[in-house]
Structure 1
Amino acid sequence: MSTKPSAATRTPSLTERRKAATQFDIARAAAELFTERGPDGTTAEEIAARAGVALRTFYRYFRNKQDAVGPLLAVGGDHWRERLAGAEPGTALPRALEAAVTETLTVPHEAKAEGLRWTRGLLRAAAEDPALRAVWYRVNRESEDRLVPVVARLAAKDADPLEIRLVAAAATDAVRIALEVWAESDAGLDGPGSPADLAVRCLRELTGGMRLLTGSQED
């Protein structure tokens, strides 16, 4: 058996960490400018200047200005999968999903609150910007793909691959829809109508009849 660590478990190299940090700096700069001026009123040059990088550096990482916010929009999904992946084997999958969603979208400190506020601003901007919406949908599709092996690890060994894919898709859509509905509202970061509250409601509605989560089997 190979002892080489997988991409999911190995520690990123210093170069990879620096690259990720630069991408996130650019993403935050783009989000700030989109919030201030809207995507139409922002240029790639302005984003690069706000982030303190050369324009060629911007285009080394991103195809266009809307693409630049992808790392910021992906943070929540990354944290959610990490928490779900950390669930003990044998933990009931419905409980693990709800716990991971709740923990990720609950706001114990300012850094997480800031991230959700950025997401709200970007989703509101995306309502009038098809290219920005496309980035949001791409981020969610990539998150869904990465969620599949995490769900598979927590599911029974003989679980149907189709059901695993359905759970990953439903769970991803639950969070996506919750954030979109919250972004359109004036609800706060906690309590009724908050991201965590809406995500759990969506998760229960979308996964309530799935055999993989209820344990029921066809005759």
Structure 2
Amino acid sequence: MESRAPSLTERRKAVTQLEIARAAARLFADRGADAVTAEEIARQAGVAVRTFYRYFRTKEDAVAPLLTVGAGHWRALLAAADPREELLDALERTITEVLTPKSDADLESLRWTLGLLRAATADPALQFVWFRVNGESEAQLREIVATLAGPEAEPYAVRLIAAAATDALRVALEACAADESFSDPGAPAALASRALRELTAGVELYPVDA
């Protein structure tokens, strides 16, 4: 079934949520989540506090759209891959594309994300949002991997590859966030590609004839 295009209202809602998420990420990265209030985030984003709470239950929840937008773009790229391309090649290619900044805005977004992950190391609520976003992304990625792999693929291997690909991105971003002197925009893509190759080494996607 062909997916329905989002309405104008839905697009506006998504834009507002992302603006709030960016404001929250900037404040959290600069000062830590404990020192930031929902009122400050709303003011920074240029929205009313009631608008903030219409979209998010807590201040930590506000960062989820920023963390999911990259994963959503990645899944869209992968879903559009040529079925003739090897699955792991498509995964590595799209991971590299989505993690490689192509503009100053992309680089700024990457820095916000890394700053947010640094803040999350000392904030269980932020960590929960990060792990929840990754869990949701893995579940959605599994369906795309299964489609690209075809009906003959082992369901276990499909789950394993989706988990490995999700963790490759997660670990790469966390490793770069842990580097306070981070300066190489190509590092997340390089680390994620390496992690994907290492995590999927030896995985048999299709049944091996006895």
TM-score (ref. length: structure 2): 0.95
- Residue 91 of structure 1 contacts residue 154 of structure 1 at CA under 8 Å; is this kept in 2? no
Q: Distance in 1 between matches of 2:41 and 2:23?
A: 6
1:204 maps to 2:201 = no
Distance 1:181 1:116 in 2: 13
Aligned partner of 1:18 among 12, 18, 26: 12
Report the counterpart of residue 177 of structure 1 in structure 2: 171
4+ aligned runs moved over 3 Å, structure 1: none
Q: Deviations over 1:71-122 (max 9, x none)?
A: 0011221111111111111210011011001111112211211111011100
Q: d(CA) in 2 for partners of 1:128 and 1:40?
A: 10
The residue that corresponds to 1:128 in the other structure is 122
Q: Does 1:188 align with 2:183?
A: yes
1:66 maps onto 2:60 in alignment: yes
User: What per-residue deviation string (whole Å, max 9, x for no partner) do you get for residues 163-208 of structure 1?
Assistant: 11111111101110011011111343345xx000100010011111
Candidates 73, 76, 87, aligned match of 2:70: 76
Post-superposition offset of 1:209 = 1.3
Unmatched 5+ residue regions in structure 1? none
- Contact in 2 for aligned 1:77/1:143 (Cα 8 Å): yes
Q: Secondary structure at the match of 1:89?
A: coil
Q: What is the aligned counterpart of 2:2 among 5, 10, 15? A: 5
Counterparts of 1:57 and 1:173 in 2: how far apart (Å)? 33
Task: State yes or no: 1:112 paired with 2:103.
Answer: no
CA distance in 1, matches of 2:87, 2:183: 28
Q: Which moved more, 1:103-112 or 1:39-48?
A: 103-112
Identity of aligned residues (%): 59
- Letter of the structure 1 residue corresponding to residue 171 of structure 2: I
Amino acid at match of 1:162: Y
Q: Which amino acid aligns with 1:77?
A: A
Identify which of structures 1 and 2 has the higher relative contact order when contacts are C-alpha pairs closer than 8 Å and 6+ apart: 2
Runs of 5+ in structure 2 lacking a partner? none
Distance 2:65 2:209 in 1: 41
Count of aligned pairs between the two proteins = 209
